[in-house]
Amino acid sequence: MAKPPALRAAVRPFKALFDSDAFAGILLIAVAAAAIALANSPLAGDYEHFFHRQFAWSPIAKLDTLHLWINDGLMAVFFFVVGLEVKREMLAGNLADARTRRLPILAAATGMAMPALVYLSIAGGEPELVRGWAIPAATDIAFAMGVVGLLAKRVPPSLRLCLLTIAIVDDIGSIAIIALFYSSGIKMAWLLAAMLVAAVMIALNRYGKQRVWPFVVCSLLLWFCVLHSGIHATIAGVVAALIIPMRTRDGYSMLENMEHGLVGWNSHFVVPLFGFANAGVPLTQLGLAAFLDPLPLAVGAGLVIGKQVGIFGSILTAEKLGFANRPSGTSWAQVWGMSALCGIGFTMSLFIGALAFPKSPLLVQEAKLGVLVGSLISAVLGYTVLRLARTQQQQPAP
């Protein structure tokens, strides 16, 4: 039955918002605010108990709380979608052309290195905090693109594309960091089993297997093996995604169809649920003065200062040296605003924070505080600068 014209007119703005880049950012802001509110309300105990109480029985003994199922299980879907996006970009997108990927790769690399250096300059004097160096190195694609979506046409398409590409390369770096620096106690039997499953998936790809279900089954088996291997389970999502065929022999794009089928679930369910389960910081226990402690201050400064200096500085230097030009039709003020938005860490930063201090709940909470405050400052600053910057204004490099 067709909807009445009045109802269609009333629903249209909400559907447009739901389909826009802005919705994912707004949703993340809402769930983060809800989590913080609950963690500082009379329901704080219920919020903590809901996610961290141990199950009497779990189909996978290693995952005996809802929090673990979200962080080690459901987040594998997030990393799977990231892996699909990375492979598509490398084969047929912005990372396929050496000339167009030159600037984003440089900006992403310096945009990860500088926050780490800023973090270590503040917190590196305390040995127990050194493991958190990678927390401010990440950029949250959904959050950053959501802020850009709120600005609509004030952000040139070239700048939007540059931000998206930097964030994708940033994700590649973050995944490598998790695999190399936040894995411990490797169990070779499980690792060999994971390698065997990956080999089967490669064979399915090589011989043109066109059905999706064998890849889905193998991806689940790969995740199960990696979960028990000592390497963080979410890495299995990336590995599986990189093996999914871009195109089968008849021209069918399994990768693109999987990405299109999962991207909505990822941005509207997986990431918000992770944010809701992890963003709750008990401010009443820590106190606002806790932000001046070395860990939250280092994380916040890394996101706000390190990201801006690293990304804006590399783009400015690249243009001065003739290595690459800034996005076409953009002013330096707009490049600065984009650099500030890259300081929105949220999802990946919260994730790395939990990995960095698995045996210290207090340090995890302090890391969360730094991520949330640093991301908020970066979002407000980036939005304000891009809102005030003149569109399509060309200026000489300072």
**Tell me, what's the pLDDT at 189?**
96
Closest CA to 204 of 256, 254, 238, 262: 254
Least confident of 247-251, 300-304, 345-349: 247-251
The yes-or-no verdict on residue 3 having pLDDT over 90 is no
The yes-or-no verdict on residue 12 having pLDDT over 50 is no
**Tell me, what's the pLDDT at 14?**
38
**Tell me, what's the pLDDT at 150?**
85
Within its chain, how far is the Cα of 372 from the centroid?
14
Which has the higher per-residue pLDDT, 288 or 35? 35
Q: What is the mean pLDDT of residues 183-189?
A: 86
The yes-or-no verdict on residue 11 having pLDDT over 80 is no
How confident is residue 288, by pLDDT bands cut at 50, 70 and 90? low
Whole-number Å distance between alpha carbons of 242 and 210: 16
130 in Cβ contact with 124 (< 8 Å): yes
The yes-or-no verdict on residue 393 having pLDDT over 50 is no
Whole-number Å distance between alpha carbons of 114 and 136: 9
**Tell me, what's the pLDDT at 18?**
42
Other beta carbons within 10 angstroms of residue 191's beta carbon come to 16
The yes-or-no verdict on residue 297 having pLDDT over 90 is yes
Which has the higher per-residue pLDDT, 127 or 390? 127
What does the buried/exposed string (b/e) look like for 366-389 if buried means 16 or more CB atoms within 10 Å of the residue's CB? bbbbbbbbbbbbbbebbbebbeeb
Query: What values do phi and psi take at 377, rounded to 5?
Result: -60, -45
How confident is residue 371, by pLDDT bands cut at 50, 70 and 90? very high
**Tell me, what's the pLDDT at 179?**
87
Q: What is the mean pLDDT of residues 380-398?
A: 73
Q: Which two tokens stand for residue 55?
A: 């199950």
**Tell me, what's the pLDDT at 253?**
86
Q: Which two tokens stand for residue 295?
A: 């860990």
The yes-or-no verdict on residue 167 having pLDDT over 50 is yes
Whole-number Å distance between alpha carbons of 216 and 273: 22
The yes-or-no verdict on residue 32 having pLDDT over 70 is yes
Domains of the chain: 65-388 (1.20.1530.10)
% of the chain surpassing 90 pLDDT: 62
Whole-number Å distance between alpha carbons of 17 and 20: 5
| 228-273 per-position pLDDT tens digit | 998 888 899 999 999 999 887 677 789 999 999 998 899 899 999 9
The yes-or-no verdict on residue 4 having pLDDT over 70 is no
Q: What is the mean pLDDT of residues 345-371?
A: 93
The yes-or-no verdict on residue 210 having pLDDT over 70 is yes
| 35-59 per-position pLDDT tens digit | 999 999 999 999 999 999 999 999 9
Q: What is the mean pLDDT of residues 337-345?
A: 95
Name the residue type at position 12: R
How confident is residue 164, by pLDDT bands cut at 50, 70 and 90? confident
The yes-or-no verdict on residue 328 having pLDDT over 90 is no
**Tell me, what's the pLDDT at 6?**
52
Q: What is the mean pLDDT of residues 99-115?
A: 92
**Tell me, what's the pLDDT at 13?**
44
**What mean pLDDT is reported for the chain?**
88
Closest CA to 326 of 268, 269, 390, 397: 397
DSSP symbol at 153: G
**Tell me, what's the pLDDT at 219?**
97
Closest CA to 340 of 156, 151, 169, 147: 147
